[in-house]
Structure formats: structure tokens, C-alpha cells
Amino acid sequence: MAGRRTDTRERIQQVALELFAERGYDKTTLQEVAERLDITRPALYYHFRTKEAILASVVDRLTESMDELVAWAKEQPATAGARLEILRRIAGLLEDQWRPLFRFAQVNQGALRESAAGERLQTGVISMLSLLSSPQDGPVRQFEARLAVFAVILGNVPFLSDMGLEESERTAVALEVAAKLIADD
């Protein structure tokens, strides 16, 4: 029974994020989420009482995976190979879990800015941005490292869809550019 409950929660999160990205967070109702899922509102309320609770649960899952990535990355040696593996893992998480939330964030910046979930997401992204450089690196090197993470993120959202590349191609190009940014001189 617990597995079924988890599946339903994940479906609710997924559908809610899709609707938030399509219609906007403020314009989406819980009734619309329930209708898209073909469940009753009481069934939805069993899992989530509010849109804020749905968003908070998605951000919690995302920040947990960011925290795990950050903890793993901090245990790695400060080598070009380790930095590249960090970028690959970020790209993998974007492809596997994070992409819907980053798409949501792109469309609903105001809703995130005004929520505790948005603050947690921002903190997680900032900690992830600092993984590829150290405080001893100069400002240019630190900036390149942060741009490398953003390159991977941008390669995984439809922001660059005008390039005529499939998602997998955009991801590969983004990783190539990011790798150049963090390469040892």
C-alpha cells in the first residue's frame, strides 16, 4: 500500500508541475490537477492540501538530491576528471528528476521568489554552483565554474530550443561547453 501511495504522490507532483509550467502557478487550481489526474479532489487532498504543499514536496526532493550530489562532490579530488564527473551527474539529475522543476522555475519565477520552497531551491543551486571551484581560485576561474553549471542547466531546458537540436543533442553540446569552461589551462 505504501508503494501505491508514493506512486500517486509522484504522479500528483509531476502533473502539478506540468500544469504550473503550462498555465502558471497562480492560475492553476487543485481542481485542475485532480481533473488532469482523473482523481477526486478528496483523493488529491489526502496527499496534498495545497498547491504550496505540492511545490514544497517537489523542492524538498530536488534539494535532497542536490545535497547528496554536493556531499559526494566534496569527497572527490580536485581534478579535471572529478569536475567533469560532477557536471555529468548534474546533467543526469536534470534529465532524470530536475528538468520539470527547472522548467517550472523558468515560467514561475515570481511564485518561487515569494515562497520558502524558492529560498531552499536557491540555496541548493548556490551550493551546487560552488562545487567546481575553490575560494583560492581567482574570480575568473570561479565565474567559469559557475557558468559551466549554468551551461548544463540551460542545455536541459527548452530555453535553447530555437537551435534546432534534440534534447539529447542540447545536453551533449551543453556538457561540451561546460567541460571547456572548467578545463585546466
Give residue 1's pLDDT band: very low, low, confident or very high (50, 70, 90): very low
Q: What's the predicted TM-score (pTM) here?
A: 0.78
- At 118, list the grid cell: 524558492
Residue 23, domain member (yes or no) = no
> Which has more pLDDT, 113 or 181?
181
Average pLDDT in the 124-153 region?
Answer: 89
Give percent of the chain with pLDDT exceeding 70.
93
Average pLDDT in the 23-48 region?
Answer: 92
Residue 8, domain member (yes or no) = no
Residue 149, domain member (yes or no) = yes
Span of 15-19, 94-98, 132-136, 151-155 with lowest mean pLDDT:
94-98
Q: Measured between alpha carbons, how far is 46 from 55 in angstroms, rounded to an integer? A: 16
Residue 28, domain member (yes or no) = no
Span of 36-40, 82-86, 99-103, 134-138 with lowest mean pLDDT:
99-103
- What does 86-128 look like in DSSP terms, one character per residue? HHHHHHHHIIIIIHHHHHHHHH-HHHHHTSHHHHHHHHHHHHH
Q: Measured between alpha carbons, how far is 93 from 119 in angstroms, rounded to an integer? A: 20
- Structural domain including 109 reads 55-182
Residue 69, domain member (yes or no) = yes
Residue 18, domain member (yes or no) = no
Residue 119, domain member (yes or no) = yes
Our count of domains for the chain comes to 1
pLDDT mean across residues, the chain? 85
Residue 85, domain member (yes or no) = yes
**pLDDT of 47 higher than 90:** yes
